Amino acid sequence: MLTKRIIPCLDIKNGRTVKGVNFLELRDAGDPVELAKLYAEQGADELVFLDITATNEKRKTLAELVGQVAEAINIPFTVGGGISTVEDVSVLLAAGADKVSINSAAVRNPQIIKEMADEFGSQCIVVAIDSRLVNGRNLVHTHGGSVPTTIETEDWVQEVVALGAGEILLTSMDHDGTKSGFADELLARISSLVNVPIIASGGAGNMEHFFDTFTTGKSDAALAASIFHFKEIGIPDLKAYLKEKNIAIRI
């Protein structure tokens, strides 16, 4: 049976792992390569590296770091942050990334999703969406969640999948950093609209939240950062808990 995935997210700035509380305050949580190895050994199903400052500072994600990670670990990983061209994707995949995630660039130019999917296959193109509730509507935000658009999240998800996105990484800005649980209502709705895997992101605070998003939220995978980095939840404990609750999980 296909299992639900637990994905630690390593937010990267200047080659170090950081995690922002609501993306504004950054705390240092260590060396990304060492952390990646540790998570792989602990049973993480996949890793995501997001160069969170890349878009704002117009930097490219560090292909060098990707190369070091690819050498060190034997599980799949996704790289995102500031990726905007087919060439960017080519460099990161060649460096050893399994998938790339695009966000602001896709909003700016949706056709880029199709170009990337045609060139490399949908399976390695993740579209990351930062969504925030504004006057009762879920609106897509860009630039690390700081710039609102007028695009509704539910519409955008369908559009990016039609263009070739192979997976959706949905971050609820309303939940991110709150530790009050994932945006399960929105996630379940999104999951019913498209036929690609959905990664839930934003709001993980305890083990129950993972159970909730895999059941109520219909999520295929759940991503979290600080609760793993600061050892509030251990991945082996989390997986044992989910297994006991009859969630399909890889132990």
Partner 1 sequence: MKVAIIKYNAGNIKSVLLALKRLGLEGTLTDNPEEILAADKVIFPGQGEAKSAMRYLKSRGLDQVIKSITNPFLGICLGLQLLCEHSEEGDTPCLGVFNSQVKKFPDHLKVPHMGWNTLSESADPIFKDIQFPAYFYFVHSYYATVSAQTLSQTDYMLPFSAVLKKDNFYAIQPHPEKSADVGEQFLKNFLFNI
- List 45, 51, 88, 130, catalytic entry: 130
Q: Taking a C-beta distance cutoff of 8 angstroms, is the pair 198, 220 a contact?
A: yes
Question: What's the one-letter identity of residue 244?
Answer: E
In a 3-state reduction of DSSP, which class is residue 131? strand
What is the rounded distance in angstroms from the CA atom of residue 124 to the CA atom of residue 102? 11
Scan for tokens 């890889």, then name that residue: 250
Smallest distance from the beta carbon of 37 to partner 1, in angstroms? 11
Question: What's the one-letter identity of residue 240?
Answer: A
**Cβ closest to partner 1, residue 26 vs residue 119:** 119
What is the rounded distance in angstroms from the CA atom of residue 171 to the CA atom of residue 173? 6
Smallest distance from the beta carbon of 195 to partner 1, in angstroms? 5
Smallest distance from the beta carbon of 197 to partner 1, in angstroms? 5
Tell me the helix, strand and coil percentages in the chain, rounded to 5.
Answer: 35, 25, 35
**Cβ closest to partner 1, residue 18 vs residue 100:** 100
**Cβ closest to partner 1, residue 140 vs residue 221:** 221
What is the rounded distance in angstroms from the CA atom of residue 18 to the CA atom of residue 30? 8
Q: Which chain residues interact with partner 1 by CB under 8 A?
A: 1-5, 40, 45, 70-71, 74-76, 93-96, 98, 120-124, 166-167, 195-197, 220-221, 250
Per the annotation, the verdict on 88 as an active-site residue is no
**Cβ closest to partner 1, residue 4 vs residue 13:** 4
Burial 67-106 (b: 16+ CB within 10 A, else e): ebbbeebeeebbbbbbbbeeebbebbbebbbbbbbbbbbb
Per the annotation, the verdict on 98 as an active-site residue is no
Active centre residues (catalytic)? 11, 130
